[in-house]
Amino acid sequence: MIKVLCGGRFNFLHSGHEYFLKKAKDHGDYLVVVIAHDAHNLKREEKKEMEQRKKQIESLGIADTVLIGDPEDFFKVVVKEKPQVIALGWDQRLPFAEDKTKQFGIKIVRIEKAKI
């Protein structure tokens, strides 16, 4: 089984997010979506609470597991979930050194921007 991990803030869920999640899941058999902890969701003036964002992603029925990220260390969930693939959106970057993924043999894939 190939486990894919992806994540985001998902404050205002839209069709681009749904596209991203579907394309991420295409890279494996099992999709884990990590919702940014409220501690990392400070850049938006209008934001939704993490449990509300988690429920919205779960309601799409695309992810096999939806988790809330660690408030201090983004990489903790990677170590716990042990994905073979991390999917990044066209506008995302890893919140930790890419060397860490190489150390664990994790492949990074980039999902292109949705043409909506």
Q: What is the pLDDT of residues 77-113, one digit of tens each?
A: 999 999 999 999 999 988 777 788 888 899 999 999 9
- What DSSP character marks residue 109? E
Percent of the chain scoring above 70 in pLDDT: 95
Are 84 and 4 in contact by the 8 Å Cβ rule? The answer is yes
Nearest to 111 by CA among 5, 1, 3: 5
Specify burial of residue 113 (Cβ count, 10 A radius: 0-12, 13-18, 19+): exposed
pTM of the model: 0.92
Taking the C-alpha atoms of residue 35 and residue 48, their distance in angstroms, rounded to an integer, is: 11
The dihedral through the CA atoms of 67, 69, 71, 75 has a sign that is: positive
Give residue for tokens 């988690």.
Answer: 54
Instruction: Give residue-wise pLDDT tens across range 10-60.
Output: 988 999 999 999 999 999 999 999 999 988 776 656 678 999 999 999 999
Nearest to 17 by CA among 63, 52, 48: 63
Domains of the chain and CATH, by start: 3-111 (3.40.50.620)
